[in-house]
Amino acid sequence: MSARLKESRLDPAAAVFDTVLPAGRGWSREIARGQTFRIVDLEGNQAVDTLFYSARDLEERYSAEATIRAQGNVYLTTGSVLRSGEGQPLLTIVADTCGRHDTLGGACSAESNQVRYGLDRKPMHSCRDSFLLALARYGRGMSKRDLASNINFFMNVPITPAGDLRFADGLSAPGRYVEMVAETDVLALISNCPQLNNPCNAYDPTPIRLLVWNRT
């Protein structure tokens, strides 16, 4: 799937929810069927680790495998349908001014920071920590067993000819965004990545903007 750049016609002034999430923070919110959800990369090259769940059945959640298999491509952009492990559509990307998003690189954790970057990096804050803190605030008994393979919006993870993954400089820029329509009631879970050890955030984590519109 090649990049499908498409701008949105939605006016931020008409959004029913609009907030800025600082770097390193976790966030969750239920998004109703038919609502539109936009993530804005305010300063460019910020990695936004994201998971989606069916709000009606939290055991049904985003599946990278099902999404990749259905679309026949490992990258996400306009037209991508984000599917659950049951193959059901959760959201559809309807606008994208970045052009490509990763769903293979996973989320940083204390353990991966230690293995990749050294023992002294283990105490550093990670996306896994942010996910778990946001789930604790959300409630409903969710825990680390509910963390699956996530989307990394705005993150550039090329696949080498040998089939390896590498973290590269981002393709995004200030003000670029990705926008999705919920196909069912979903729970969105975000870690605005605090990673300082690879170029996924240009070594400088920055805030993002999150907006929601009602069905038009």
Largest CA distance in the chain: 51
The span from the CA of 146 to the CA of 196, in Å, is: 25
Sequence-ordered list of residues with C-beta below 8 angstroms from that of 199, at least 6 positions apart, any chain: 45, 167, 168, 169, 170
| Angle subtended at Cα 61 by Cα 195 and Cα 22, rounded to the nearest 5 degrees | 30
Model confidence pLDDT, tens digit, residues 114-145: 556 555 555 556 788 999 999 999 988 999 89
Q: Which residue has the higher pLDDT, 77 or 121?
A: 77
At 1, the pLDDT band (50, 70, 90 cuts) reads very low
Report percent pLDDT > 90 for the chain: 68
Residue 137: other Cβ atoms inside 10 A? 10
Instruction: Supply the pLDDT for residue 203.
Output: 78
Model confidence pLDDT, tens digit, residues 15-26: 999 999 999 999
Amino acid at 203: Y
- End-to-end alpha carbon distance in the chain: 28
3-state secondary structure of 78: coil
The span from the CA of 124 to the CA of 205, in Å, is: 13
Q: Which residue has the higher pLDDT, 202 or 134?
A: 134
The span from the CA of 46 to the CA of 112, in Å, is: 19
Q: What is the mean pLDDT of the chain?
A: 88
